[in-house]
Amino acid sequence: TTLGGAAALAFAAARRPTPAAFAGIAWLGLTAEFALHRILPGPKTPEELAKMAVTSVLIPPAALGHRLAGEVRVRRPRPAARAILFDRDDTLIHDEPYNNDPELVRPVPGAEDVLRRLRAAGVPVGVVSNQSGVARGLITPAELAAVNARVEELLGPFGTWQVCVHADGDGCCCRKPKPGLVTRAALALGVRPEDCVLIGDIGADIEAARAAGARGVLVPTPRTRAAEIEAARRDALVAGDLAEAVGLAMGDRAW
């Protein structure tokens, strides 16, 4: 619709009436169809009809401009993360619900390699994890510490561990999707939240990153809901595995 209108104006300015007329008819027909779809549900008052007619002319170029601006924005090179934060379960290690046994800790494929490379490159890394099993009485603080120690034994040291042990109804400010874990991790690592990238497997990770002003990368698993993946495709980044996620965070898909 917008291109038809622009072509009509351009041909008219070039004193080419025939193509200007064809382009103008195309623009008018598409605009009328758009307006009709918006008018039919009603109400059909004179004021509403006038409003629909005017806005049906304005919306297509506004929408096209918004789309083009978004295309330019998402294709700009993203600055490399100054620190990377990881969710724990189903991101760094396979999820064992309410795990209180260090012997059940199993890293996901590629975790050891990407962490080794990040440390070699001098990029601070941290873990931000919800562990409501403590509040529910399913995990003791000592068992949680033992499991986290096993993660470090297998994957190396992290610059910070930020863990929320509260349940959903506790009203804390740290449980993802709230930003507390991310902002505290950034402070502990000596960077701003906006300089961090949080890599996780569910929508709460992406929402926590956004709430803190950080960027998020979703690495879906079979447990990740389709709606969470779709939302991440619109507002964040989606990666096929941990290595690709780190590559996106560092501005290099081939990381």
Distance CA 210, CA 215 (A): 6
**Is 235 known to be catalytic?**
no
- The residue from 89, 90, 201, 205 that is catalytic is 89
**Is 89 known to be catalytic?**
yes
- Indicate the burial class of 198 (C-beta count within 10 angstroms; 0-12, 13-18, 19 or more): buried
| Residues contacting 144, CB < 8 A, separation 6+ | 100, 131, 133, 134, 163, 165
Bridge partners of 86, per DSSP, are: 127, 199
Q: How far is CA 124 from CA 28, 82, 152, 187, in A?
A: 57, 7, 14, 12
Distance CA 125, CA 136 (A): 28
Place of tokens 């960077």: 191
Which H helix or E strand runs over 180? Answer: helix 180-189
For 82, the token pair is 């100054």
For 109, the token pair is 């494929």
- The residue from 87, 90, 195, 205 that is catalytic is 87
Which residues of the chain form beta strands (DSSP E)? 83-86, 125-130, 160-164, 196-200, 215-218, 237-238
Active site residues: 87, 89
